[in-house]
Structure 1
């Protein structure tokens, strides 16, 4: 609760029948899963940015629920993170590391190693994804699934 930025580089699972049970697959996920339902009970006042570098964290699950916003990305936002980076479908692990590195570089307005500015999250993701899109223009499945949720 005392950290403003949370970065999760892991796997995730979308529960298609009960989206509130969608979870990040952390080390203790078998005994204490970090689910949408668990995040709903959390209220973080110092939170600023959650980066979910995991597959399908903004996937609502069943096609019957496409008009719902029950997924990990929205759960982090409801827990108090005004900026959340999520993904709509499975992502490439190697490219995910490049995207995260570029994102954090763009999130630092001053010289390298300076303070992160979470308010720049949408712009940082935009510049990052444009650069990746330029590298892989014929393969949008590699870059189009990343999204920024927040204000």
Structure 2
């Protein structure tokens, strides 16, 4: 999990986006969660806490992230920048 700001960004080429997430996938990491823009600290802490709590109950990373995003969205309903920046790249299981 790369929950710092802008970790999903990179250089756009004919082969796709080349950045940190692609390097990790190429190195053999089955999946990575990144952010697509700058994220506020407090909502990010809530989302990550919820993500890991959900992941302990269900090994599906996509479902765990979705649930965490929904929980954070309820807490910050008028601030999509607080929860919508996260994306899973790679395998969900």
Q: RMSD across aligned C-alpha pairs, in angstroms?
A: 1.8
**Corresponding position of 1:69:** 17
Give the SS at the match of 1:53.
Answer: coil
- Whether 1:98 aligns to 2:46 is yes
Per-residue deviation, 1:66: 7.1
Greater C-alpha Rg: 1
Instruction: Check 1:66–1:134 CA distance in 2 against 1; reply closer, same or farther (3 A cut).
Output: farther
- Whether 1:80 aligns to 2:20 is no
> Where in structure 2 are the equivalents of 1:128-147 lying within 5 Å?
128-147=68-87
CA distance in 2, matches of 1:85, 1:133: 18
Query: Given that residues 60 and 66 in structure 1 are in contact (C-alpha distance below 8 angstroms), is that contact kept between their aligned partners in structure 2?
Result: no
Query: Given that residues 34 and 87 in structure 2 are in contact (C-alpha distance below 8 angstroms), is that contact kept between their aligned partners in structure 1?
Result: yes
Larger helix fraction of residues: 2
Q: Deviations over 1:35-90 (max 9, x none)?
A: xxxxxxxxxxxxxxxx10111011125xxx27632121222122111121100011
CA distance in 1, matches of 2:4, 2:88: 14
Unmatched 5+ residue regions in structure 2?
Answer: none
> Where in structure 2 are the equivalents of 1:2-151 lying within 5 Å?
51-61=1-11, 65=12, 68-109=16-57, 117=59, 120-151=60-91
Higher RCO (CA < 8 A, seq sep 6+): 2
